[in-house]
A and B are shown apart, each in its own frame.
Chain A
């Protein structure tokens, strides 16, 4: 992997992978949406409202997974000074932010018919809202500090400190009594869900993961180019005439 620390080599690989991951992500999402809307049965308690699960749960998983990726990249940037680690973390943030917003919005659209409230200040919902603000804060921080190495340092610290929130979100439904239901898939003893619902759910989750990779490659290419551009401009200013 360290070979891809070289931005030129990374760019070549990323350019080759972008169309394939994008195509695979869109195709998987199309299959997942078809399964979720046409093939999956309505829930015996919630009826067709349970179909919101197929866009809500994968978005919430991505919200957490992308934050973990961001925190790991930030740690790698600190420890090994890998030149692409900051790039990967910075490129991940807007993607994680969108998935978190989607988890919140689809959750509200599910909460209203099932709980009778768009929002409740319970542990799960509140901790995910904090995750959303962590993403926003991280994005703003990069833009707020002009000097790139100082911005990178501050962003790494925020990403790592904010990682405390990840286990809090996961275990919030066990530690506190919440309105939000507990884990159904990632639980001790395996998933407690019928296959007819699990397959559409996992297809959507796979689609979201592949789309994350595609968007990450696109945004990392963008970030590498912007850094290159900054270097070129600094070089022009330094050079006489």
Chain B
């Protein structure tokens, strides 16, 4: 058995260890991306409104 194969088997606990790590990485990635996108969107809207305020 190769080193990588035994690594992925996680001593027989692969079905528990990998989902735990995957859930952690995916959830934090999603939280970061969604927060970033919403923040950029509202900052852009503020910039737009302030620009149109100055024009009027």
Is A102 engaged at the interface, CB distance under 8 Å to the other chain? Answer: yes
CA distance A229 to B10 in the complex (A): 51
Taking the nearest CB of chain B, how far is it from the CB of A87, in angstroms? 13
Nearest B residue to A211 via CB reads B28
Asked if B13 and A222 make an inter-chain contact with CB atoms under 8 angstroms apart, the answer reads no
Interface residue from A33, A52, A94 paired with B31 (Cβ < 8 Å):
A94
The stretch that binds B, out of A104-112, A172-180, A184-192, is A104-112
Those of B29-49 within 8 Å (CB) of chain A = 31-32, 35-36, 38-39, 42-43, 45-46, 49
Number of interface residues of B (CB under 8 A): 28
Chain A interface size, as a band, is 35 or more
Q: Which residues does chain A contribute within 8 Å of B10, judged by CB atoms? A: 48-49, 51
Q: Are A55 and B24 in contact (CB under 8 A)?
A: yes
Given A48-B13, A102-B23, 11 extra CB contacts under 8 A:
A37-B7, A42-B11, A48-B11, A49-B11, A55-B24, A106-B20, A109-B23, A215-B31, A225-B39, A229-B45, A232-B49
